[in-house]
Amino acid sequence: MKKRIFEYSGIILGCFIIAMGFNLFLIPNKIAPGGLSGLATILYYLFGFPVGMMMLVFNIPLLIIGVKKLGLHFGTRTIFGSIVLSLFIDGSAPFLPTLTTNILLAALFGGIIMGLGLGIVFKFKGTTGGTDIIARLIYDYTDIRIGQAMLMIDFIVITFAAFVFRDADLALYALIAIYVASKAIDLAQGGVNYAKAALIISDHTEIIGEAILKDMGRGVTALRGQGLYTQTLKDVLLCVLPRSEVSELKDIVKKADQKAFVIITNVYEVLGEGFEKYQLK
C-alpha cells in the first residue's frame, strides 16, 4: 500500500508539472506539441473548448478500447493519469499568467517542463493516455513500432495545427518543443549524472583489463566475441565509468594497443557497486 501511495503521488506531481508547462508556455502561444494535447489546443483556439476537458473526452473511448484490448492492468494508472492531468490543466489555467510571448522561449521552456513532468510520470510507472494508447493499438494490429507510431501521430497533429493557424513557424516551434521534451524525459528518468560505457576490442585485452582494475579501480567484464571476417575468437571488454575517467581509460588503451577498437557511449542510469544504490520503495 505504501508503495502504491508513493507511486500515485509521483504521478500526481508529474501531471501537475506537465500542466504548468502547458498553461505557462505552450497553450498561450498556440504551440500544439502533437498528440491529444496538441489536438485539444487546436480546438481551444477554434471553438473555445477547455484543453483539459477535450483531452479527457478524447481519452475516454481510447481508454475503453485500451482496457478491452490490452487488459485492465494497462488501464488503471493510465485512467488515473489522464484524469489528473486534465483536471490540473483546466483547474490551474485561470490562475497562471503567460510568462513569455517569445515563441522560441515558450517552445524551449514549455518542452522542458512538459518533458520533466512526463519523465516523472513514467518513472512512477504511469502514463497520461492519448498517443500512448493509440500507438500501442497501432502496434498490435500492424508492424509499425510504438515509437514510429507516436512520431506519425505527432506529425499529423502538428501539420494540422500549421494548417489551422496558417503559420508554418508554429509547427516548427512545436517540433522544437517535442525534441526538448524527449531529452527532458530522459533527464527525469535517468538523472543528470550520465556515466559512460566503453566496449574495447583488442588483441591485448588481458593487459588493458588488468590496468583498468588496478590503475583505475574500476570493474571490467570480458565478453566472448568473434570476428565474422577472420572468424577469430577474442574477448571484448565492457567497462562502465564516470565521464571524468574517460581520458584515463583512453590513455590505458592507447598505451597497451594503438590498434584497439574502442566504442564509448552515454549511459543514462547505472545501478550497482561504485554507482547509484538500489532504492527499495
Residue stretches of the chain with pLDDT short of 70: 70-74, 146-147, 190-194, 273-281
pLDDT in tens, 263-275: 999 887 777 766 5
Does 158 lie in the same domain as 128?
A: yes
For the chain, give the percent of residues with pLDDT over 90: 57
Provide the domain limits for residue 142: 2-190
Does 257 lie in the same domain as 186?
A: no
- Provide the CATH number for the domain around residue 239: 3.30.70.120
Q: What CA–CA distance (Å, rounded) separates 150 from 37?
A: 13
Does 210 lie in the same domain as 89?
A: no
Does 227 lie in the same domain as 128?
A: no
For residue 25, give the C-alpha cell.
Answer: 508556455
